[in-house]
Copies of this chain bind each other. A is one copy, B any other.
């Protein structure tokens, strides 16, 4: 029976978190599986993957070079952790399933190849031969292939599915590019025009193709057009038509194709997820079901259900659990059938905020003082709208003071005044509102405020102490500045319209996280390849900055735009520089200058590397990012509550436990205070309850789509 409960709980939690693992159902395997899903090994795994990825900082070409014999053992440790994890996984699921799953094969191959590479590299380096750590390219693929990388795999799968369509549009785009280049060659090649560097203009076909490809990124507009435009007004028409077709229309078509395909395949994936979820819940039901009478429908009793929920989500409050039961067991029968049971995973996913209106701790400690006239007045003042406005004004004045010169002692003193004011605000609020409610998980801005103010206080104190000791650390001062400015951000929360936009942005957060992993995988691979191709070719030295004759340590770069614009630090000499350079290439501006710098020191064919990066990152991934954001916003605009949410809300209202939405919008803490204060007076039925519920997330739909 206990084992049954374990199994059912595993099914429900798999359904809740959309895990799709076909584990063995033997009691032993289930226990192993529970361990596998425990947060500790999962976090450990991510820590070791991070360590593995960060090793690139210390490996040659390194930012901080560390001996090979220091990084190798760390990498071996990481590899062994990954091995333990995959062995654990192999024990959890049936053997045939394990070997059929490509992601497991991938991990094993990655581990073996890495080991092989380490041996070869170690041996070659020990005998002072030239060696390449080629297996580093495989490292980020671990992020994709571990069981927890579900969302990332989904994203990659969507991209792969969209590729054929993108490919055909790309071919057409290339055709257009080649046609325009041919036309440009014929129109401008024989006119003897020169660029501002006195080089012949548009005489080599392949160079024209490259120049016009760059024009699609707009990076060399209007420079590429100026020689022709200077020759005749009519030639501008050629470039305008080109930009209209290839930059505006084709790039929009790319966005359309990527967006459309991505949406289509994501929808299909979500549909499959929903099906799998239902399937798992049905299995859980099959494990727990009992027949109440002969011939009756199988059902699950409330006791059994309670036990299950406690096991799946131990931190859920009894009140919340009872609420969920009352939604499931509509007719108050004491047992539920299959249909009602299957909803459980979704019910658990609806975030219900349980608001306990507890009396303020001071009320218990010093009831007479806390309820005295002045104390009541103070609390009312803090809860007044004027208090918020007053502090918004203070923030604005503070902004002006920050803008002024902080070395002026008057301004420095003013800073202390502001700090004191902010601290006072937090203390007053803690006096007026119940502290645990003030710091509840959903009060983002209270947390934000407090952390910023406390950190600013600490940093300012350290800074002052240091300056008394006549030594000011720039780092601390920088942190103080950043914190001071961040404090101003709070003003946004006071304006309702802004709050809506910000909330949507915060909701995109998890999506951006998945997206961030995606981009890190791609960046890492390109950084590793780039480092092998270009390491040491461009050198940066701080002494060069002012030197007009600088050549970034490579005579080939003398008098090039790359050296002239002081881009020497944009190089592939270590992994950090590489990442920053890749960000610059993603932004695309001055793309041709950066690219030409690297082709100048190597070979023109190095362009392939950069064009490939542009296609993968800018044409595909950035478009997917835009599609992500668009989709998230459209969902916010057209949000519909699921049936389940509606019925849960109805239940909450029936039970008269709802917190009026408007009240909450105005000031969550306020509403609680009032209901707390009026606890004895019995003004309204609603306020008699010490427990109130509110549904947190309005757009479940989005969450299932993207997280």
By a beta-carbon cutoff of 8 Å, the part of chain A in contact with chain B is 168-169, 171-172, 175, 179, 182-183, 185-187, 194, 196, 205, 218-223, 226, 229-230, 233, 236, 240, 243, 247-249, 252-253, 255-257, 259-260, 399, 402-403, 406, 478, 481-482, 484-485, 488-489, 491-492, 497-498, 501-502, 505, 508, 540, 542, 545-546, 564-567, 569-570, 576-577, 580, 583-584, 587-590, 594, 622, 625-626, 629-630, 633-634, 637
Partner of A222, one of B260, B492, B587: B587
A172–B221 CB distance below 8 A: no
Contact of A580 among B240, B501, B505, B566 (CB under 8 A): B240
The reply to whether A230 and B168 form a contact with Cβ atoms under 8 Å apart is: no
Contact at A482–B229, with CB atoms within 8 Å? no
A175's contact among B185, B492, B622, by CB below 8 Å, is which? B492
Q: Which of B402, B488, B589, B630 contacts A219 (CB 8 A)?
A: B589
For the complex with contacts A194-B546, A236-B580, A252-B625, 19 further pairs of A-B residues with Cβ separation under 8 Å are: A168-B497, A172-B492, A179-B485, A196-B564, A196-B566, A218-B588, A219-B589, A223-B565, A226-B566, A226-B569, A229-B580, A230-B566, A233-B580, A243-B583, A248-B622, A252-B629, A256-B629, A256-B633, A260-B637
Known: A186-B402, A260-B634, A567-B226. A218 touches B587 (CB 8 A): yes
Could you give 15 example pairs across A and B, Cβ below 8 Å?
A168-B498, A179-B489, A186-B402, A186-B481, A186-B482, A187-B481, A194-B546, A219-B589, A222-B590, A233-B580, A240-B580, A243-B583, A252-B629, A252-B630, A257-B633
Q: How far is the CA of A248 from the CA of B659 in the complex (A)?
A: 37
Q: When the two chains form their complex, are residues A172 and B249 in contact, meaning their CB atoms are under 8 A apart? A: no
Give min CB distance, A570 to chain B, whole Å: 7
Interface secondary structure of A, over-half rule: helix
A587 — which chain B residues lie within 8 A by C-beta?
Answer: 218, 221-222, 243, 247
CB <8 Å contact, A230 and B182: no
Q: Is the CB of A253 within 8 A of B501?
A: yes
Residues of chain B within 8 A (CB-CB) of A402 are 182, 186
Q: Give the docked Cα–Cα distance between A249 and B630 (Å).
A: 10
- State the CA gap A655–B597 with chains docked (Å): 69
Shortest Cβ distance from residue A589 to the other chain B in the assembled complex, whole angstroms: 4
B633 lies within 8 A of A172 (CB)? no
Contact B505 A196 (CB under 8 A): no
A569, chain B: closest CB distance, angstroms: 5
For A569, list chain B residues within 8 Å (CB).
226, 229-230
Judge whether B252 and A626 touch: CB under 8 Å. yes
Once the chains are docked, how many angstroms separate the CA of A488 from the CA of B229?
26
Contact B589 A256 (CB under 8 A): no
User: Is B249 a contact partner of A505 (Cβ separation < 8 A)?
Assistant: yes
Distance (whole angstroms) from the CB of A39 to the closest CB of chain B:
29
Residues of chain B contacted by A484 (CB below 8 angstroms) = 186
| Tally of this chain's copies | 2
Residues of B within 8 A of A590 (CB): 221-223
Are A589 and B172 in contact, with the CB atoms below 8 A? no
Least Cβ–Cβ distance between A371 and chain B, in angstroms: 41
Looking at the assembled complex, report how far the CB atom of A176 sits from the nearest CB atom of chain B, in whole angstroms.
9
- Known A175-B492, A182-B403, A505-B249: A570·B222 in contact at CB below 8 Å: yes
Residue pair A255, B626 in contact (C-beta under 8 Å): yes
Task: With CB as the reference atom, state the residue of chain B lying closest to A505.
Answer: B249
A392 to chain B, nearest CB (A): 13
Separation of A511 and B317 alpha carbons in the complex (Å): 57
Q: A625's contact among B187, B248, B589, by CB below 8 Å, is which?
A: B248
In whole angstroms, how far apart are the Cα atoms of A7 and B399 in the complex? 69
CB distance from A444 to the nearest CB of B (A): 16
Separation of A546 and B183 alpha carbons in the complex (Å): 26
Do B240 and A583 touch (CB < 8 A)? yes
**CA–CA, A243 to B586, complex, Å?**
11
Distance A223 CA – B498 CA, assembled complex (angstroms): 32
In the complex with contacts A175-B492, A182-B402, A545-B230, A584-B260 CB distance below 8 A: no
A183 to B484, CA, bound (A): 9
A7 to chain B, nearest CB (A): 43
Whether the Cβ atoms of A482 and B187 lie closer than 8 Å is: yes
Q: Which B residues touch A546, using CB under 8 A?
A: 194
- For A570, give the chain B residue with the smallest CB separation: B222
Q: Are A629 and B485 within 8 A (Cβ)?
A: no
Residue from A501, A567, A576 whose CB has the most chain B CB atoms within 10 Å: A501
**Nearest residue, chain B, Cβ from A182:** B485
Write out the residue numbers on chain B whose beta carbons fall within 8 Å of the beta carbon of A567.
Answer: 222, 226
Q: Quick check: B625 and A183 within 8 Å, CB to CB? A: no
**Contact between chains at B185 and A403 (CB < 8 Å):** yes
Whether B589 contacts A218 by the Cβ 8 Å rule is: yes
Closest to A236 in B: B580
- Asked if B633 and A485 sit within 8 Å, CB to CB, the answer is no
Residues of B within 8 A of A545 (CB): 230
Q: Which residue of B lies closest to A219 (CB)?
A: B589
Answer whether A233 and B169 are a contact pair too, CB < 8 Å, given A221-B589, A247-B587, A589-B220.
Answer: no
Return the chain B residue nearest A485 by Cβ: B183
- A260–B638 CA distance with the chains assembled, in angstroms: 10
| Bound Cα distance from A257 to B504, whole angstroms | 12
CA distance A577 to B350 in the complex (A): 60
Shortest C-beta distance, A423 to chain B (Å), equals 21
Hey, which chain B residues are within 8 Å of A406, CB to CB?
Answer: 186
